[in-house]
Structure 1
Amino acid sequence: RIPRKAFIDSDPAFTQLAIAKAEPWYVEFFRAFDRLFTFGANVGTPMSPIPIGAFTWHKTWQPITLEDWRSNATPRDRFTTVMTWKIESFTDVGGNKDREFMKYIDLPSRTRQPFELAVNGPQELLREHGWETVDAMAASRTPWDYRDFIHRSKAEFGVAKHTYVATCSGWFSDRTECYLASGRPALVQDTGWTAHLPSGEGLIAFSDPEGAIAGIDRINSDYARHARRAEEIAREHFDAGRVLSRLIEEACA
């Protein structure tokens, strides 16, 4: 018998909205755990309307083994990301990344900064709007392929799933953590994470195309400074030793 059982929710808002449908088997599944953790830093707070019912959700981040991500590689002049255009799960409780990304579809025409997406979505449509694309599976088939793709990147440009944004969930991507740990600045959509993590150097939030363009210019104006700060943020907030120590302590409390 496992004396203490913990569940870690990597899809905040989607998970809680599914629980709120009150299907008995799903509710009972979560009742079997002693502690529930989530990557949604605003779940259960006044900042987010996500329903939590009778459950208490504790906050955690995805842990990163920093030594596995350090890079001496010279990056290409590309802001990149690895993304799934649309997921098949939770289709009845929320919106996908495609819904948010379309707000930024014209971004390449508004800046001289090149972009490359490793994406499983509509590559022809994206290319028509100036995005360079590669197959997401090819870029992430192995952990080493995934790491190499990130290390070849200048910075991340990341858009979140619509539900993460609309609910102000505070979700923060483990992919973004990997960019930061690699010394690659990250320009990522705000889901409410700015209430918990620094934004402005190394890690920059945006909420609209104008904010994204300003973030690109800011990173490019002093890239070395932003790259150094990116790695510092990863060490301060996502180091596996720190994250897991706190998680285990809370799980056993």
Structure 2
Amino acid sequence: MEKMKIVVGGFIGLFPTGGATWDYLQYPLGLKLLGHDVYYIEDTQLYPVYQASGDSWDDCTFGVEYLKKAMAEIGMEDRWAYRDVATGKTFGMSETRLKEVCKTADVFINVSSSTVWRDEYRKIPVKILIDTDPMFTQYQYHLKMEAGGSEAEYSRVYMQEHDLFFTFGLNIGQPDCRIPQFDYNWLTTKKPICVDFWDQPVAKQSSFGFTSIMNWTERPDFIYDNETWGQKNKEFRKFFELPTASKRKFEIIINRPKDAETVQSMNSLTARGWDILSPGNLIADKDNYRDFVQSSFAEFSVTKETYIKSNSGWFSGRSAVYLASGRPVLTQDTKWSRYMPAGEGVLAISDLETASQAVAEVTGNYEKHSKAARDIAHEYFDSGKVLSDMLAHVN
């Protein structure tokens, strides 16, 4: 493939945590490994989410330093920029250098609709939107269209600035998929995984058991098509009794929420044998995160109700790094099983009975499932294949 100059927009500095870092970092890193001339920017017009102790609420120092370190660790120390909404300052590359890069860039990849549009981005010949949150993304657009007025016009223009639209909803456009497409031609893609950074020998004895990393509820339920669409808390109830039923160790990292209802749910999980771990140093940065995944026996993952209900075909990028690490994955089927293998390496579950059977199967045939997990990651999620397939659509 011909070498291109590519700018990637994401959320690493805004969400300086291990999982989010890998979610966005593997785009510039994967493109760099393919030999492209790659730059990373953050221009979200959002105020910083995390601050170090003592910093003011609008101080982006912690996120900027985190981003600087992450970029240096992949050899892109002079190829990033962070535009801060609070001060108007640009960190990393200078404003002048950033505009020079955009002037000669071939492609802009806007991951998760992270980037606000400016003239220098609009002038890049090909602009790609990557929808990492299928059905939630389209619902937000639906809300704006219903609201009408300037809000609808802004959203419509924002979308139409893009030339290509990709989604993690592998089943989009199929008769049973309930994701509205509006007037956009949605192509499908997967989370790119830089497999050589994850493909490590499986430890003889894992430090952790069946693990995962999750939010209990990221946002409130919403109403669409006269139905309620929810989060993981709705689905997890099906599996409350799994530790007792399977007699295995389950350890889940969950941010302990403050609301009483969720605290009660966490206490209920603990009482049933779930070990609720605090993120702390376990997944504070990308290295901690990778160590946690690779110290796990396997992943047990619950999926957001909305992904399942919409028949989206979504598959977790977190689960993909478990696979790349040779860790089998047990997760609910959103129709992803139509587009990649199920049964060895990654096992589809739907209720307590199928989950218990899957736990027994993986435990009893671990070497087989570990190998299959790694094979699936290389075949379906390898960043070289995923990103090359995407760029093949660029004329």
Does 2:328 align with 1:185? yes
Q: Label 1:10 to 1:137 Cα distance change in 2 as closer, same or farther (>3 A).
A: farther
Does 2:286 align with 1:143? yes
2:96 is matched with none
Deviation at 1:26, TM superposition (A): 1.9
Q: Is the 1:83–1:136 contact (alpha carbons within 8 Å) kept by the matching residues of 2?
A: no
Q: Label 1:90 to 1:6 Cα distance change in 2 as closer, same or farther (>3 A).
A: farther
Q: Is the 1:100–1:160 contact (alpha carbons within 8 Å) kept by the matching residues of 2?
A: yes
Mapped to 2, the partners of 1:91 and 1:28 lie a distance apart of 24
Mapped to 2, the partners of 1:36 and 1:148 lie a distance apart of 33
Percent identity between matched residues is 37
Q: Is the 1:103–1:209 contact (alpha carbons within 8 Å) kept by the matching residues of 2?
A: yes
Deviation at 1:92, TM superposition (A): 6.0
Q: Is the 1:108–1:131 contact (alpha carbons within 8 Å) kept by the matching residues of 2?
A: yes
Unaligned runs of 5+ in 2: 1-122, 146-151, 257-262
Three-state SS of the structure 2 residue aligned to 1:102 is: helix
TM-score in terms of structure 1 length: 0.94
Q: 1:108 aligns with which of 220, 243, 247?
A: 243
Mapped to 1, the partners of 2:254 and 2:171 lie a distance apart of 28
Does 2:312 align with 1:169? yes
Q: 2:207 aligns with which of 49, 57, 76?
A: 76
Does 2:347 align with 1:204? yes
Unaligned runs of 5+ in 1: none
Three-state SS of the structure 1 residue aligned to 2:126 is: coil
Q: Is the 2:208–2:251 contact (alpha carbons within 8 Å) kept by the matching residues of 1?
A: no
Matches within 5 A, 1:12-31: 12-21=134-143, 22=145, 23-31=152-160
Deviation at 1:28, TM superposition (A): 2.2
Three-state SS of the structure 2 residue aligned to 1:5 is: strand
Mapped to 1, the partners of 2:246 and 2:194 lie a distance apart of 34
Mapped to 2, the partners of 1:137 and 1:83 lie a distance apart of 14
2:193 is matched with 64
2:255 is matched with 120
Q: Is the 1:5–1:34 contact (alpha carbons within 8 Å) kept by the matching residues of 2?
A: yes
Q: Output one character per residue of 1:68-122: Cα deviation in whole Å (capped at 9) or x when no partner.
A: 1122334236100011111138856641111111221121121111100011144
Mapped to 2, the partners of 1:149 and 1:35 lie a distance apart of 35
Number of paired residues?
252
Structure with higher RCO (Cα < 8 A, 6+ apart) = 1
Deviation at 1:128, TM superposition (A): 1.2
Q: Is the 2:221–2:231 contact (alpha carbons within 8 Å) kept by the matching residues of 1?
A: no
TM-score in terms of structure 2 length: 0.61
2:129 is matched with 7
Report the residue type matching 1:42 in the other structure: N
Three-state SS of the structure 1 residue aligned to 2:343 is: coil
2:230 is matched with 95
Q: Is the 1:39–1:62 contact (alpha carbons within 8 Å) kept by the matching residues of 2?
A: yes
Mapped to 2, the partners of 1:56 and 1:240 lie a distance apart of 23
Deviates more, 1:166-175 or 1:17-26: 17-26
Three-state SS of the structure 1 residue aligned to 2:320 is: helix
Q: Is the 1:14–1:90 contact (alpha carbons within 8 Å) kept by the matching residues of 2?
A: no
Deviation at 1:46, TM superposition (A): 1.3
Q: Label 1:200 to 1:65 Cα distance change in 2 as closer, same or farther (>3 A).
A: same
Pairwise CA RMSD: 1.6
